[in-house]
Amino acid sequence: MVKKYTGQKAHVWIDSGNGEVITTGSTNPGTKYFVMNKADNSSIAVPEGVIFQSPMAETQITLAAGDRLYRIDEDRFCKTSASFELSEGAVDVGDDCHPASQIADGVTAFSGSMSGLFRYDPVTDDVENVTMDILNKFMTVIKDSGSGSYSIHEKDDAQAYILTHLNSDAGPGQIETWLFAPIVITSMSLSLGHTDPQSKDVSFVLGHGSPIIYQVPAAA
């Protein structure tokens, strides 16, 4: 019998785009990377501009001179709703033999939005990292220790990465299906009504790279 899932089974992670760039050595087991550049003799099997996961336990991928990988660090975005839209334009190639004919222009547009609640650490009451990282896309974040030291995180509008595990119930040996995309977060609105939960709405468009569907066996 065919299985069907509700949207609750789709779990979303965000990487804010502030992580480590790897140019030498080898990949780490079971780690997700974004391919920034590939050398001519690269052992990386996927093209530039997409995300892949390194082998779980087998021999890792050794980087060649000229390879550049961005290591993805996922922070869970606990959503209340999410929607993605993909579209492709068309080019009019009609003539008097084939009036009104069109062909695809080959350019995929990707955009979407997500909503979620503000979440605070139960011990420190600090705002969760993923929310602060998104706020940092639009504003400088200053953290005051209360004892005279300050850390300043300048506004950083670098592209982020969205990873959506569509079937989070997949068990060992079953196939996980992910939607991966580099994104630019274009807006964030906050809702702070007196009788409503504190919430955030985030919109995004495609960044530098390509959206992909990625399938991999679930880890044991």
Which among 190, 172, 162, 191 is positioned nearest to 11, based on CA atoms? 162
pLDDT at 67: 97
Q: How many domains does the chain have?
A: 2
* Domain contains 2: no
DSSP 197: -
* Domain contains 139: yes
Mind listing the pLDDT tens digit for each residue in 141-158? Answer: 999 999 999 999 999 989
- Segments forming the whole domain that contains residue 33: 20-72
The pTM score is: 0.90
For every residue of 44-109, DSSP letters joined together read --SPTT-EEE--SSSPPPBPPTT-EEEEP--EEE-EEEEEEEEEEEEEE---SSSTT-EEEEEEEE
Q: Are residues 57 and 83 in the same domain?
A: no
Q: Are residues 172 and 79 in the same domain?
A: yes
* Domain contains 175: yes
Q: Are residues 103 and 120 in the same domain?
A: yes
* Domain contains 130: yes
Q: Are residues 206 and 157 in the same domain?
A: yes
Mind listing the pLDDT tens digit for each residue in 28-80? Answer: 999 999 999 999 999 999 999 999 999 988 789 999 999 999 999 999 999 99
pLDDT at 44: 96
* Domain contains 49: yes
